Amino acid sequence: MLERSFGEIAALAKRATRGAGYTWGACEDAAFATEWLCRQGLPGVEVLSNALSAHEGPQIAPTITEQPWKAANGALLCALTSAAALTDHIQLAAHDGGIAILNLRFPLLTVGCVGAYGEATGRRYQLKWNDTQIDAGLGGSFTKDPTHKLISASANMFRCTELEAIPARATLSSPTRPSIDVAHWKRLEQLAFRTYAPATAASRLSGAGPDAS
C-alpha cells in the first residue's frame, strides 16, 4: 500500500483522466470527485482507476429529455459525463429534487462528483443504486455498505435525490494520508504519462521531457 496526500491524489487523477482521453472539464471533475471520495475514507483512487481502465470509445452522456435518463442507444453511460449533467440539472424545479439514470458505469465516481458539488454549494444528496445508499455533500458522507458493493462496475438504476437537512449521523473517518493500492496508483501514473510531451534532443539539454534512461 502507498500513502499519498490529497493534493497528490487530485493532481494525478486530473492528469490520468486527461491521458484516458477526457476533456479538461471532465478531468477537473474527476480530480474533485476522487479527492472527495478519499477524504470520506472511500475508494476514490480504485474506482477512478477501474473506470479509466474500462473506458473505450466516446464518453456517452445521457439523453435528458425525460426520466429516467439513459443513453440514446441503450449503452452504458459514462460516470463523469453523467455527473456533469446531473449537477447541472438537479436544482431545476422540473426534476422536483430527484433524477434517475439507467445503466450508469462506476456509480461511485458519480457519487464523488455529486458529493464534491454538494459540499461546494451547501447541499446534500441521497444516492441509491444496486441496494446501495450513500448520503453525500455538505457534512461529508454516510454509508453502511461494504467497499466491495460500493465499487460495482455498473448500476441498472441510479437515483439522486436532494435531502432537506443534514442527518445527525456519524460520518466515515477521514484519513490524513489515505492508503492506496499500488496497482491502482501505478495504473493512473501510466495514463498520466500519456500527457507528457516526448523528449527531444533540445529538451533533454534543457532538462525537460521524460527521462530517457
65 — pLDDT class (breaks 50, 70, 90): confident
Q: Report the C-alpha gap between 142 and 116 in whole angstroms.
A: 14
199 — pLDDT class (breaks 50, 70, 90): low
> pLDDT tens digits, residue range 14-47?
999 999 999 999 999 999 999 999 999 999 999 9
Residue 96: per-residue pLDDT: 67
Helix (H) or strand (E) segment spanning residue 145? none
Residue 4: per-residue pLDDT: 86
212 — pLDDT class (breaks 50, 70, 90): very low
What amino acid occupies position 203? S
Residue 197: per-residue pLDDT: 64
Cell (9 digits) for 56: 473505450
DSSP 2: E
208 — pLDDT class (breaks 50, 70, 90): very low
Query: Helix, strand, or coil here: 157?
Result: strand
Helix 6-19, helix 182-193: angle, nearest 10 = 50
Is the pLDDT confidence value at 118 over 50?
yes
Is the pLDDT confidence value at 207 over 50?
no
Q: What is the DSSP string of 127-139?
A: EEETTEEEEEETT
Residue 93 near residue 136 (C-beta atoms within 8 A):
no
Q: Report the C-alpha gap between 25 and 88 in whole angstroms.
A: 13
Lowest mean pLDDT of 64-68, 96-100, 205-209, name the range.
205-209
Residue 10: per-residue pLDDT: 97
Residue 122: per-residue pLDDT: 92
198 — pLDDT class (breaks 50, 70, 90): low
Query: Helix, strand, or coil here: 166?
Result: coil
What amino acid occupies position 193? F
Query: Helix, strand, or coil here: 101?
Result: strand
> pLDDT tens digits, residue range 121-174?
999 999 999 989 999 999 888 887 777 778 888 999 999 999 876 655 544 555
